[in-house]
Amino acid sequence: MKKNVRNPEQTTATIDTSVRDSKVVTQPPQRKTVEPQEVPAQPQKSETLDRDFSVLGKNVNKKDAYEKVIGKTQFAGDMKRPNMLYGGVFRSKIPAGFIDHLDISKAAAIPGVACVLTYKDIPGLNQTGIIIKDEPILVENKIRRIGDAICLVAAETEELVEEALNAIEIEYDEIEAVLTIDRAAEADSPKIHGETNLHQSKHLFCGDVDAAFEQCDVIVEKTYSSGMKSHMFIEPDAGLAEYVNGILTIYVSTQNPHFDRGEVANMLAISHNKVNVIQAATGGGFGGKLDIGVQCHLGLLCYHTGRPIKMVRKREESTMVSSKRHPMTMHYKTGAKKDGTILAMKIHMTGDTGAYASYGPAVITRAVVHATGPYYVPNVDITAEFYYTNNPMSGAFRGFGVPQISIAHEGQMNALARELGMDPIDLRIKNAHRVGTILPTGQELTESVGFVETLEAAREKMNELFNDETYQPSAPNKKRGLGIGCMWYGIGNTGLPNPAGAFVEVLGDCSVNLLVGCADIGQGSTTVMAQICAEELGLNYEDINVTYAHTMVTPEGGATSASRQTFISGKATQNAAYMAKQTLMEVASDYLKVPAERLIFRERKIWDREDPDTKMTYPMLMMEMRRIGKLALGVGSYNPKTTYLSPKDMSGIPFEVYSYATAIVDLEVNVETYETEVKNVISVHDVGTAVNPQMVEAQIEGGVVMGIGFALFEDVILTRGRIKNLNFSDYIIPAAMDAPKIYPLIVESEGEAGPFGAKGVGEPALIPTIPACADAVENAVGIHFGNLPILYIDIAREMNRKR
Amino acid sequence: MQNILVNMTVNGEPISRETAPNRRLLDFLREDLGLTSVKEGCSVGECGACTVILNGKAVTSCLILVGQAIGTEVVTLEGLHGEDELDPLQQAFIDAGAVQCGFCTPGMILAAKALLDENEEPDREQIKRSISGNLCRCTGYEKIIEAIELARDRRLNK
């Protein structure tokens, strides 16, 4: 692991508040005074800064690994209950229209069919959606996409479910399907929701781009695009519902149990505490299990039958109806001085959000805020429009639009480097975010900006692996190229509150119950929370038992998305542990006759930092707690310090901290078959503090391979709103033979936000590999590709055109 | 549809059960025998989550009718470890950090087990090839490959 504890370079400072005035700004970013922020009862920082950790930074075994390797882990599909029913969904086969006639009587009359339900059976709200509730749980009349849910069936066996679904009779009144955003934008196109198909539009600006372009020596202008992608988590959506002591209990493969709870309760018009959502082991999510999947349908069937019921989607159904990555088109104009200083960017992007909003508002906002890339750009004008169509619903997918715009901002940097004849890494370092940089939103970066370090570490590793003499193609029919890509990524939801909580109890034997809302989808948040809790309390990792994502027991955790759980649930965990520790400190202070602030808690011992011989063991302290009748309890929460963004120019503080990364891709193109093969990838990530380096590496490696799939393989094929490639047989994700040698490197940067300075890596892991692949293909064959994925057929077409 | 009698050895135990002839080996193991480590990810033999070892070879159990498996020896993940001790592959998957969501893990370990039982010293390319029918969306395969290398070395007492 590469450790990089650095002294952030401070920019010489004068206070400058004019950065957002409408004049051309050509000076380097200036520091401005930061208003004192509200600080809750905070854990002590002394141990944070010297990084002398006893549990953090250690590669402890993941909490869930043992059960998973012996095959005992229960995914929802593995669960069974006595007297259990099976559920299924009758779905629309057309992309747009109205239900003309629906007859469920034959299906309902089949012996062994418990019920067939329609929207009329919903007692409460028939609307769902994470941000805008525009999706019916069961269609009332209007169909907006292929796969819209119309009826539910519960039956004694899976075969009877199929029989009942086939016995439902429906006639449609089909209307024109809106299949492109160009058609969506036309005045006479059918409207999918309300009066307009414009889902959202955004405008972010600062400085004066037009005047700034006048001062530029070089201008690069290009259009980029990114196709629709499918998550292809290996476990299809699944869940089981039953009543437990009168509480509707739903075990489900999910990334956001607390959201699920509210949606199910609202649908049934019951209070939220009458629904208990327990996350079952979740076989991958990547954003695709953030929306409501089987939860409401299971809840409604269980409510009407009173019996346990299970739903497991077939792969094709799962792919058809879960959200997809937004297809986007991005037009970029970038202007710079001869020395490489970027002065201005003008950007316009459009996206297809499909039939329902899902996370569309988050994707457009995040894409706009990140559109300049991790570079200081003083004059910016960014406009964006997302449209509803009758295509599959686009939503959250690892990176929320940032992977798409990274293709463009990195494509521009590489084009600019070529235009200027500059080294692409030098060009990036010249313009890189640093502590003190002012963003286009007006936010000043005040800490934990390790971008330049990722660039330098990537260059060092690249020079170590490759040199001009040995860097040759492996065969005469191959061409080889190196490419670079970078990214920045704000941790947490964009300019919105998104708190998470934790409860801690230290028991008499020094073991700990930690309760967090945070859903662990395999990335390892449970392990991370345990490490943070143990570090703060001065106990061992093995002392911590974690109960998670169980809505009747654990506090709100928010979504496992936006790379937010280590940062936000982690900080909530640290705060909860610290509250319990405050009681322990008072008691230890009395017992040892040492001021509380001098006490060190570490590895099950407590001592006076000025006199290490004045000490006690943790079991002694817990005995003393019992003697005087005190409990070590803690409640913690954390909400990142952000502001809402201005509707006028999107100014504000969208995120409290940002992660940074640089990737170098080494690939070959076979000039006879036009196939690409990625051979080596260096991926360097500034994660603040690596709580568990092995798990950070695992995130990076998984992201690199998913990034290769994004750039070179994966594309959802649509015909009239229907996905043609629904299964792994024709939606090709990388297999082991496609995986390159990966060099994951970790940069640690200093910051006081987050638990012990930790940020997030889940989504950043994916992003930089994508533009780096595109750059490597360009360097190998000398052709620019702005539309991703770059399939062999694209390379064949362009190379033949060039010949 | 008349039931058929299925005799086979599963995880070392002789099994004799009547079941429907249209059941796949996957359904028989999961539903009839309760061996839920065998996962269903795609139902078309592409993802490898349902991999089991049948007569020493790693196979996708979603593509095998139970009748085709009569008289065979089948091993699932439940049959890999003893009472107190994990198989070297299971331990290596923990130690190398090769487990994330865990849905591909049973099939991955069994594909690797079939490889190591046939070739006790495979190289990295042979390892990659042996798991190329098992898809993983979380790990990027690197730590899985490292885990198999680690288990290989431990089995050879390296």
DSSP-assigned letters across all residues of A72-91? ---BGGG---TT-EEEEEEE
* pLDDT for res A4: 42
Strand-pairing partners, residue A383, are A203, A348
Neighbours of A720 (CB within 10 A): 12
Query: Which residue reads 């943790």 in tokens?
Result: A618
Confidence tier at B76 by pLDDT (50, 70, 90):
very high
CA distance B101 to A347: 38
Q: Which of A271, A289, A321 is the last residue of a domain?
A: A321
Q: Which residue of A has its CA nearest to B96?
A: A694
Do residue A146 and residue A287 come from a single domain?
A: yes
* Confidence (pLDDT) at A7: 34
Q: Do both A549 and A630 map to the same domain?
A: yes
Is the pLDDT at B150 greater than 70, yes or no?
yes
- Within-domain flag for B83: no
Asked if B132 lies within 8 A of A735 by C-beta distance, the reply is yes
Same domain, A68 and A94: no
Cβ separation of B132 and A736 shorter than 8 Å?
yes
- The answer to whether ipTM exceeds 0.95 is yes
User: Looking at the complex, does the CB of residue B63 fall below 8 Å from at least one CB of chain A?
Assistant: no
Q: What is the CATH number of the domain that holds A122?
A: 3.90.1170.50
Residues A475 and A509 placed together within one structural domain of the fold: no
Give yes or no for a contact between A358 and A321, defined as CB atoms under 8 angstroms apart.
Answer: no
Is the alpha carbon torsion for B43, B44, B47, B53 positive or negative? Answer: positive
Tokens 């990036």 -> residue = A428
Q: Which residues of chain A have pLDDT under 50?
A: 1-40, 46-49
Residue A249's identity, in one-letter code, is T
Instruction: Specify whether A109 is located in the same domain as A251.
Output: yes
pLDDT of residue B127: 98
- What is the β-pairing status of strands A605-608 and A599-602? antiparallel
B49: tokens are 């989550």
Look up the CATH number of the domain holding residue A580.
Answer: 3.30.365.10
Nearest chain B Cα distance for residue A283, angstroms: 5
> What per-residue confidence (pLDDT) applies to A508?
97
- Which of helix, strand or coil describes residue A210? helix
Amino acid of residue B156:
L
Structure token pair of residue A102:
């629906």
Please check whether residues B65 and B126 belong to one and the same domain. no
Q: Which residues of B2-28 are buried (b: 16+ CB within 10 A; e: fewer)?
A: eebebebebbeeeeeeebeeebbbbbb
For residue B84, what pLDDT band results from cuts at 50, 70 and 90? confident
Q: B57 with B101, same domain?
A: no
Structure tokens at A410: 């990195």
B127 and B147 assigned to the same domain: yes
Put simply, whether B88 touches A (Cβ < 8 Å) is no
Containing structural domain, residue A86: 76-176+246-321
Interatomic CA distance for residues A133 and A121, integer angstroms = 19
Chain-chain contact of A729 with B42 (C-beta, under 8 angstroms): yes
Same domain, B151 and B93: yes
Look-up of token digits 């190398």:
B96
pLDDT of residue A42: 61
- Looking at the structure of chain B, the number of domains it has is 2
- How far apart CA A270 and CA A309 sit, in angstroms, is 19
Alpha-carbon torsion (A494, A709, A797, A793), positive or negative: negative
Inter-residue contact A104 to A168 (CB < 8 Å): yes
> With an 8 Å Cβ cutoff, are A701 and B129 in contact?
no
pLDDT digits (tens, 9 = 90+) for A746-786: 999 999 999 999 999 999 999 999 999 999 999 999 999 99
Cis peptide before A640 (omega within 30 of 0): no
B19 and B66 in a common domain: yes
Contact A234 B104 (CB under 8 A): yes
Given an 8 Å threshold on Cβ–Cβ distance, is A235 in contact with B41?
Answer: yes
Of A286, A694, A729, the CB nearest to B97: A694
Q: Are A527 and A60 in contact (CB under 8 A)?
A: yes
Close Cβ partners of A566 (under 8 Å, ≥ 6 residues apart):
A525, A528, A691, A754, A755, A758, A759, A760, A761
Q: Where is A774: in which H helix or E strand? A: helix A769-781
Q: Are residues A664 and A799 in the same domain?
A: yes
**Torsion angle, CA of B140/B146/B151/B154, rounded to 10 degrees?**
-170
Instruction: Look at chain A and report how many structural domains it folds into.
Output: 3
Q: Rounded CA gap, A230 and A317, in Å?
A: 13
The residue of chain B with its CA nearest to that of A281 is B101
Separation in Å, CA B110 to CA A75, A139, A774, B51, B150 = 19, 44, 36, 7, 15
Which residue among B17, B49, B78 closes a domain?
B78
For residue B125, CA distances in Å to B59, B122, B157 come to: 20, 8, 21
* Neighbouring-strand partners of residue A348: A331, A383
